[in-house]
């Protein structure tokens, strides 16, 4: 019976994520992927189909990674104010660790490919909707608890915060000044109280 997949799929996806995040989709060649994954060219095609195939798996992998880190930190939070802060804290940490200015893969591919590849378009659109819905839930709870004001609906605040997160990721590509970025986050959250 068949030989089974020997390589560590997660390890391969991690390496592929790094190179796609660094060079972008169009800037990354199959040769780049062969080099960084230490996988045979045939094995890549065998396991992922085509370049867009491995990219879509990378997108899911990257998104799951973010979801997990959110989940892990959010269950530790005692109130909704902390929950929102944690989301920005994770983003800030990710920015400060991003030494080679790669930026966020989801933001990058939204700007590079959303208008070119329908499958990427629907992926990032769905992902954005989920993210906004998650924030809206938190705001909703916070408003019920009178922690956040009700001048705007939870939905409106969610769009505002999601937009701020994307802005933060863009600004954070070139600006790694922690003090400035922390103050920026405080200013973003000011409207909620």
Partner DNA sequence: ATTTAATTGAAATGATCATTTCAAAATTAA
Partner DNA sequence: TTAATTTTGAAATGATCATTTCAATTAAAT
**Which one of 10, 40, 115, 116 is in contact with DNA (CB under 7 A)?**
40
Smallest separation (angstroms) from its own copies to the CB of 95:
12
The site map against DNA for 42-61 (x = CB under 7 A) is: xx-xxx--xxx---------
* Binding partner at 102 among its own copies, DNA, none, C-beta below 5 to 8 Å by kind: its own copies
Instruction: State the Cα–Cα distance between residues 133 and 114, nearest whole angstrom.
Output: 20
Smallest separation (angstroms) from its own copies to the CB of 184:
6
**Which one of 9, 10, 30, 149 is in contact with DNA (CB under 7 A)?**
30
Q: For the chain, report the end-to-end CA distance as a whole number of angstroms.
A: 63
* Binding partner at 101 among its own copies, DNA, none, C-beta below 5 to 8 Å by kind: its own copies
Tell me how far CA of residue 98 lies from CA of 23, 103, 108, 119, in angstroms.
14, 7, 14, 27
Judged by the rule CB under 8 A, the positions of this chain that interact with its own copies are 22-24, 26-27, 100-103, 107-108, 110-112, 114-116, 121, 124-125, 128, 152, 156-157, 159-160, 162-168, 170-171, 173-175, 180, 183-184, 187-188, 190-191
> Smallest Cα–Cα separation from 160: which of 95, 88, 108, 73?
88
* Binding partner at 184 among its own copies, DNA, none, C-beta below 5 to 8 Å by kind: its own copies
* Binding partner at 72 among DNA, its own copies, none, C-beta below 5 to 8 Å by kind: none
Structure tokens at 6: 């020997």
Smallest separation (angstroms) from DNA to the CB of 103:
20
Q: By C-beta, is 72 or 126 nearer to its own copies? A: 126
**Which one of 9, 10, 11, 29 is in contact with DNA (CB under 7 A)?**
29
- DSSP3 helix / strand / coil % (the chain, rounded to 5): 75, 0, 25
Q: By C-beta, is 35 or 180 nearer to its own copies? A: 180
Does residue 22 bind DNA (CB under 7 A)?
A: no
The residues that touch DNA, with contacts defined as CB under 7 A, are 1-7, 28-32, 39-43, 45-47, 50-52
């Amino acid at each position: 019976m068949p030989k089974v997949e020997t390589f560590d799929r997660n390890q391969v996806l991690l390496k592929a994520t790094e190179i796609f995040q660094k060079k972008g989709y169009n800037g990354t060649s199959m040769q780049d992927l062969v080099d960084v994954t230490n996988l045979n060219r045939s094995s890549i095609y065998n396991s992922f189909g085509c370049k867009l195939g491995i990219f879509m798996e990378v997108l899911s992998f990257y998104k799951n990674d973010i979801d997990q880190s959110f989940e892990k930190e959010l269950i530790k939070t005692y109130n909704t104010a902390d929950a929102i802060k944690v989301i920005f804290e994770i983003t800030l940490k990710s920015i400060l660790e991003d030494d080679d200015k790669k930026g966020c893969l989801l933001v990058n591919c939204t700007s590079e490919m959303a208008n070119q590849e329908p499958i990427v378009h629907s992926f990032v659109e769905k992902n954005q909707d989920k993210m906004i819905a998650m924030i809206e839930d938190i705001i909703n709870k916070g408003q019920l608890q009178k922690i956040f004001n009700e001048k705007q609906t939870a939905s409106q605040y969610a769009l505002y915060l999601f937009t701020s997160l994307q802005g933060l990721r863009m600004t954070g590509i070139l600006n790694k000044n922690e003090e400035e970025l922390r103050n920026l986050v405080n200013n973003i959250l000011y409207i909620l109280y």
